[in-house]
Structure 1
């Protein structure tokens, strides 16, 4: 259920991107050099992050199915707008391989994606911050851990066997408020909808992957509640692979057999819970600098187009990227 603030933000998102699309695109392309100069921020994390999202090292050729920037698929619309926000600074004739939606396997050719599986050889999956209106919703939480309900909460779609396994495992635990709010959920799993602010009333919030990453992970980690989850198997711009168990979140066993013990432990040791919450909050602040976010996004694409042999690199920019 959308709040008034969320609906207003959505309208603004579409209005802003529609305005960008109807503006003369040559205006953006003429600003590329200036944008690249501003993107060379002194913060070392910018270089580290852009080379984490775009791990390509060798020259490659776009596939036969690559599309031109001027002809990017329009649907899903938010994927289009989020990619076009930075792609519009490059020549509209440049070719790009892109996979919208939930990516379950590493592409066979270097491609722009929203997410990738956490595997050893993932360099062909070049991550951009796509569908960010949905995935990067991280509202503030003013309620201290000690003032929250001493219970566990989870809501979500039953689109992954892990989620059904979880509900079966916690069914008889009196401190768990877990279920699905979706209309098609079986009666035994059905629970009423909870907003993010209603989730934040609980000390413990479970995060479970669905079609790919868990959408709720970002706002849980930005809250003053403790995140409990199995180790992630997919990652997005949030770089879920870099999250450390017992540092940023509390790891759960695949069968969730340790959930009760973990909750009991942190009820006895709330200072340990607050330490993890503080580390999770600090991790989320990585993504709060909009200047850095835009710089990294532009440089991820720039590196892609240089290595695909479609643009000649500027010496200073390339030196910045490669270090």
Structure 2
């Protein structure tokens, strides 16, 4: 899979502009009936409504040099290849959610507050946009919630301190630590985690990296109120519709989970809604066109291309 990932990037990087223009035109024709949907997504990613001027230190594809973080580079440059090399932009790689003084391409941003200068792009998609088939129905699964992940951030530490011994949770820490060795448990694959009726998704530095595959399963996502969003538009997800939301202190967890154990039809409705929400993100051609249109809007507002 990695070989194919890098091969596709190399083919895109060296493709002539005429071929890329043809590709863009073909995608626009294919999804002509989804123009309103695409426009709405672009408006969500690019919240700016007025033109802006980029600072002198903005880079272009011709001057872009970035060491490391190859997945960020590949994912951004693959879409940048559809535009002239002299078009300028600002970017920030990594699990950062701060707001820059100028419109900047980011992987994630805060859901609330003035986040207009953070323009969302689809980055590190091979890690965050993973979907897995799930052959087990909700009712066939264990009446438990599962969590496996690194426990470094304070809110994750608080979760483990509060919920580690809860009888309805199988929680385990994946990163080595001498502070709470009892929290460490053996690796658990995605397939093994999908054997549980509930999958706990905890934000890390930004969003929960397991949220997308968890929503693609026949299990129900459990999470406190989300604070960050990415290309997945987490800010549009609705508690009780696409996932189950619990309080930050997890005090209502048992009440919530017991309700859905006793009312499996309600849980299955959430699973159905989650699957419907995911559908557009599984269409690689549609995702590519939305990505192109997002950068196109960014370049239009920065005065580099006429509408």
TM-score range, shorter chain: over 0.9
Q: Does residue 272 of the first structure (1) align with residue 266 of the second (2)?
A: yes
Q: CA deviation at 1:183?
A: 2.5
Equivalent of residue 71 in structure 2, options 74, 78, 82: 78
Cα deviation 1:25-62 (Å, max 9, x = unaligned):
54556548736854762212111111111112111111
Task: Determine if contact 1:97/1:111 at 8 Å carries over to the other structure.
Answer: yes
RMSD: 1.8
Residue 245 of structure 2 corresponds to which residue in structure 1?
Answer: 251
Q: Does residue 95 of the first structure (1) align with residue 88 of the second (2)?
A: yes
Equivalent of residue 165 in structure 2, options 155, 172, 176: 172
Aligned equivalents of 1:33 and 1:163: distance in 2? 42
Total equivalences in the alignment: 304
Residue 19 of structure 1 corresponds to which residue in structure 2?
Answer: 11
Which residues in structure 2 correspond to 1:135-146 (within 5 Å)? 135-146=128-139
Equivalent of residue 230 in structure 1, options 224, 244, 263: 224
Q: Does residue 290 of the first structure (1) align with residue 284 of the second (2)?
A: yes
Residue 104 of structure 1 corresponds to which residue in structure 2?
Answer: 97
Aligned equivalents of 1:15 and 1:234: distance in 2? 32
Equivalent of residue 50 in structure 1, options 42, 45, 48: 42
Give the alignment's TM-score, normalised by structure 2. 0.93
Task: Determine if contact 2:98/2:109 at 8 Å carries over to the other structure.
Answer: yes
Equivalent of residue 233 in structure 2, options 234, 239, 245: 239
- Give the secondary-structure state (helix, strand or coil) at the position aligned to 1:71: coil
Q: CA deviation at 1:161?
A: 1.2
- Give the secondary-structure state (helix, strand or coil) at the position aligned to 1:302: helix
Task: Determine if contact 1:38/1:295 at 8 Å carries over to the other structure.
Answer: no
After superposition, the Cα gap between the structure-2 partners of 1:37 and 1:286, relative to the gap in structure 1 and judged at 3 Å, is: closer
Q: Does residue 159 of the first structure (1) align with residue 152 of the second (2)?
A: yes
Consecutive unaligned residues in structure 1, runs of 5 or more: 1-8, 314-323
Task: Determine if contact 2:220/2:267 at 8 Å carries over to the other structure.
Answer: yes
Q: CA deviation at 1:133?
A: 0.5
Aligned equivalents of 2:272 and 2:20: distance in 1? 41
Equivalent of residue 301 in structure 1, options 289, 295, 298: 295
Aligned equivalents of 1:226 and 1:280: distance in 2? 9
Q: Does residue 59 of the first structure (1) align with residue 57 of the second (2)?
A: no
After superposition, the Cα gap between the structure-2 partners of 1:162 and 1:309, relative to the gap in structure 1 and judged at 3 Å, is: same
- Give the secondary-structure state (helix, strand or coil) at the position aligned to 2:71: helix
Shifted more, 256-265 versus 10-19: the winner is 10-19
Q: CA deviation at 1:71?
A: 2.9
After superposition, the Cα gap between the structure-2 partners of 1:11 and 1:140, relative to the gap in structure 1 and judged at 3 Å, is: same
After superposition, the Cα gap between the structure-2 partners of 1:114 and 1:290, relative to the gap in structure 1 and judged at 3 Å, is: same
Aligned equivalents of 1:48 and 1:273: distance in 2? 29
Q: CA deviation at 1:230?
A: 0.6
Consecutive unaligned residues in structure 2, runs of 5 or more: none
Residue 25 of structure 2 corresponds to which residue in structure 1?
Answer: 34
Give the alignment's TM-score, normalised by structure 1. 0.89
Shifted more, 64-73 versus 277-286: the winner is 64-73
